Amino acid sequence: MAGRIVVFGATGYTGELVARALVAQGARPVLAGRSARRLERLATELGGLDTAVAEVDRPRTVRELVDRGDVLVSTVGPFDSWGDPAVEAAIAAGATYFDSSAEQRFIRRVFEHYGPKAAAAGCGLLTAFGFEWVPGHLAGTLALREAGPDAVRVDIGYFPHGGGKSRGTRASLKGFMLEPSFGFRGGRLRPERTGVRMRAFDIGCSTPRYGASVGGTEHYGLPAAHPTLRDIDVILGSFGSLSRAMPVLSVGIAAAARIRPVKAGLTAILDRQAATGSIGGPGPTARERNGTTVVAEAFSPEGDRLARTTLHGVNGYTFTGNFLAWGAMTASQHGVDGVGALTPLSAFGFDAFHSGVTKAGLTCAEDTSLSGRRPPGT
């Protein structure tokens, strides 16, 4: 018998997208969050769903959301501040856990701190199960498969095309800017600053698009599937005009963040910026008008580009809602492969994962005619 699906944070921007996508796929999730009134209103609109009130500052209420065999989807962020109660609840219950986090420090905590606890409890944890950082696993795998065993490096670029940011995303940006990040260099995971490297990708615009390096779950998942890998760069193209200056800016930001009063001041500034504007994010019209591109390029030891894969498709928020719904439905009906902290590839296998990404709105076009070419802007 399939377990229940519980969406924690259902009345938030991303949580509502997930709830609507689940209902569109035929599920009847339990909607959970802080406000009984808002939950009931959404539950009625979606066909009379069950609801449950739970708050992260009352961990017992979160723990009561799930039992063994259930699926818990958490969209309550910023996750570095508020994400732990949901992970701990899933582990205590033996439930499968998903979240929409993109935050580097939280990702490391799930893999390195909570992963062993989940393995002992016999359940799986899937963090960052949205636009950041799922598509890079698929694009990277396709490029590396085409390149073959000569590939020792893969660069993955994420490029949204407009559409704005939700308040939750803006709140999470302080983690990107102020907290330590990580990379995969020389065959192992290493601590490093956000934005320590910068490069450009040709994604069909009039000029190459620049981005800066960040820590993603690709650093955990791709080396296990491709043992020849020595280096992975995940490049986020959301820093705009700051991208080309990030290697220099990151030095100053890292130094400032080590001084408590300065870090507190920067945190306050970023918190105020996150609190401005709409509580939600881009509406349906804006999401429909704007899409995303994800690129992966595989390289030889000499730096020659061996293969390239490009994914095009829907707005990142739309993808996140759809893909979290797909993952939760699949896990509820068929379970996941393995226990502990998992990646999309390890949890579902390549074929099912590829199908899930396509259903969520991203499709790929492989370009294998790039042998020997050097990328722009490196």
The pLDDT tens digits of the residues spanning 222-231 come to: 999 999 999 9
Has residue 111 been placed in a domain? yes
Q: How crowded is residue 26: how many other Cβ atoms within 10 Å of its Cβ?
A: 7
Split at pLDDT 50, 70, 90, the class of 193 is confident
In the chain, at which residue ranges do the beta strands (DSSP E only) sit? 5-8, 30-33, 51-53, 71-74, 96-99, 124-126, 153-160, 181-185, 188-192, 198-201, 209-214, 231-236, 292-299, 305-313, 340-341, 362-367
- Estimate to the nearest angstrom the gap between the alpha carbon of 95 and the chain centroid: 20
Res 275 pLDDT > 50 = no
Give CA–CA dist 352/288, Å, rounded. Answer: 26
Number of domains in the chain: 2
Res 298 pLDDT > 60 = yes
Most confident segment among 17-31, 170-184, 258-272? 17-31
Give CA–CA dist 101/124, Å, rounded. Answer: 16
Q: Output the domain CATH number for residue 112.
A: 3.40.50.720
Has residue 65 been placed in a domain? yes
Res 374 pLDDT > 70 = no
Contacts of 71 (CB under 8 A, 6+ apart): 3, 4, 5, 6, 95, 96, 97, 98, 328, 331, 332
- pLDDT at position 205 is 76
Pick from 64-73, 104-113, 203-212, 234-243: least confident: 234-243
Res 360 pLDDT > 50 = yes
Same domain, 208 and 290: yes
Give CA–CA dist 44/49, Å, rounded. Answer: 7
Per-residue model confidence as pLDDT tens digits over 74-98: 999 889 999 999 999 999 999 999 9
Same domain, 163 and 290: yes
Has residue 169 been placed in a domain? yes
Same domain, 277 and 309: yes
Same domain, 101 and 250: no
Has residue 158 been placed in a domain? yes
Has residue 376 been placed in a domain? no
Same domain, 173 and 265: yes
Q: What is the mean pLDDT of residues 23-31?
A: 97
Split at pLDDT 50, 70, 90, the class of 126 is very high
Q: What is the mean pLDDT of residues 253-271?
A: 53
Same domain, 161 and 286: yes
- pLDDT at position 229 is 97
Domain extent at residue 120:
5-129+318-356
Has residue 374 been placed in a domain? no
Split at pLDDT 50, 70, 90, the class of 333 is very high
Give the percent of the chain with pLDDT over 70. Answer: 80
- pLDDT at position 251 is 53
Has residue 373 been placed in a domain? no
Q: What is the mean pLDDT of residues 249-278?
A: 51
Res 248 pLDDT > 70 = no
Same domain, 211 and 281: yes
Same domain, 84 and 160: no
In terms of Cα–Cα distance, which of 211, 227, 216, 144 is closest to 182? 216
Q: Output the domain CATH number for residue 230.
A: 3.30.360
Same domain, 40 and 125: yes
- pLDDT at position 278 is 39
Q: Which two tokens stand for residue 112?
A: 């390195």
Same domain, 286 and 343: no
Has residue 378 been placed in a domain? no
Q: Compare 266 and 210 and report the one with higher pLDDT.
A: 210
Same domain, 149 and 60: no
Same domain, 140 and 114: no
- pLDDT at position 260 is 61
